[in-house]
Amino acid sequence: MCVILMNLYSVAINQLFDIELDKVNKPDLPLASGEMSIKTGATIAGFAFSMSIVMGLMIQSPPLMCAILIYFFATSAYSVNLPFLRWKKNAFLATIAIICMRGLGIPVGIFLHVQKYVLGKSICLTRSLTFATVFISIVMFVVGLLKDIPDLEGDKAHGMKNFAVLLGKERVFWYCTYLMIIAYGAAVVIGAKSTLMLSKLVTVLGYSTLALMVWLRAQSVDLSNDKSTSSYHFYVWKTQGTTDDKCCRSQTQGTTDDKCCRSQTQGTNAEGQPTCSDGPMG
């Protein structure tokens, strides 16, 4: 729960400092559209941060607390517009922040927390943890780059120097696709070395299928169409468990939107537009 709350802080703080940028790139977001006030957004960010820290201290797990703090510092450095911060304006600093947030801090911290404070084992960095950390880092790096492609014009206008601005849409798009194929290929190789036949079959067949799906989807993307590139970004990102915000709101209000529920499996919202939940990488 404390990690989820820190993720909520991450999303809130990013949107608070991106209001003008989001008016161009993502005008439907709550703060950019005016649906939510800045005061409410700041309250949510402050509450989520405070509760995350309090819960982390109550659990009394150094690895988990370190993961929370790494997430906090990385996402703040990425989003907050203060001297030496706002790393999202620089391609390399943005990459460091994204990898620290999602690739290093959370997976390693939670693994060590479970190993030591849940299972009662001695702390040990395993080969599987190393691979998972590298794999997740690559995936989150790719997701961050793909997000920037449909946002190119708005990012240029606001002085962003991300990879999409520096290298262009096409090069970034195919670099991302190749990285995903390489990551899946590495997973296939690691899985093939498993001594358990079931694990070997599931890993090899599963990641081979994912690689093929990503490759085939990439062939159909129209790089001149922001909706198409955004849909591809969502296609990769939705494997991380994101959902349509409008669906979430309708469910909390006790209603069910059939169009919305169907759209979750298609990567679009109720209006048929590609959806994405950028989290700390917005």
SS3 180: helix
Q: Compute the distance between CA of residue 229 and CA of residue 217 in angstroms, rounded to an integer.
A: 11
Half-sphere exposure of 181 (CA within 13 A, CB side): 13
Domain ranges of the chain: 1-125, 134-243
* List of residues 6+ apart from 180 with CB closer than 8 A: 138, 139, 142, 211, 214, 236
Q: Residue 282's pLDDT is what?
A: 62
Q: Residue 239's pLDDT is what?
A: 59
Neighbour count for residue 244 (Cβ, 10 Å) = 22
Local confidence band at 189 (pLDDT 50, 70, 90 cut-offs): very high
Are 79 and 14 a contacting pair, CB within 8 Å? yes
Supply the mean pLDDT for the chain.
81
Residue type at position 161: K
Local confidence band at 259 (pLDDT 50, 70, 90 cut-offs): very low
Are 233 and 223 a contacting pair, CB within 8 Å? no
Give the pLDDT confidence of 31-83 residue by residue, as tens digits. Answer: 989 899 999 999 999 999 999 999 989 999 999 999 999 999 999 998 998 88
17 pLDDT higher than 70: yes
Neighbour count for residue 86 (Cβ, 10 Å) = 18
Q: Compute the distance between CA of residue 211 and CA of residue 207 in angstroms, rounded to an integer.
A: 6
User: How far does CA 195 lie from the centroid of its chain?
Assistant: 32
Q: Compute the distance between CA of residue 206 and CA of residue 35 in angstroms, rounded to an integer.
A: 41
Neighbour count for residue 259 (Cβ, 10 Å) = 13
Distances (CA, A) of 24 to 158, 229, 263, 265: 10, 16, 24, 27
How many residues can be counted in the chain? 282
The answer to pTM > 0.85 is no
Local confidence band at 277 (pLDDT 50, 70, 90 cut-offs): very low
Are 263 and 244 a contacting pair, CB within 8 Å? yes
Q: What percent of the chain has pLDDT over 70?
A: 84
Are 91 and 97 a contacting pair, CB within 8 Å? no
Distances (CA, A) of 252 to 31, 275, 279: 20, 19, 20
Q: Residue 268's pLDDT is what?
A: 41
Give the pLDDT confidence of 104-148 residue by residue, as tens digits. Answer: 888 888 889 988 888 888 888 888 888 888 898 898 889 888 888
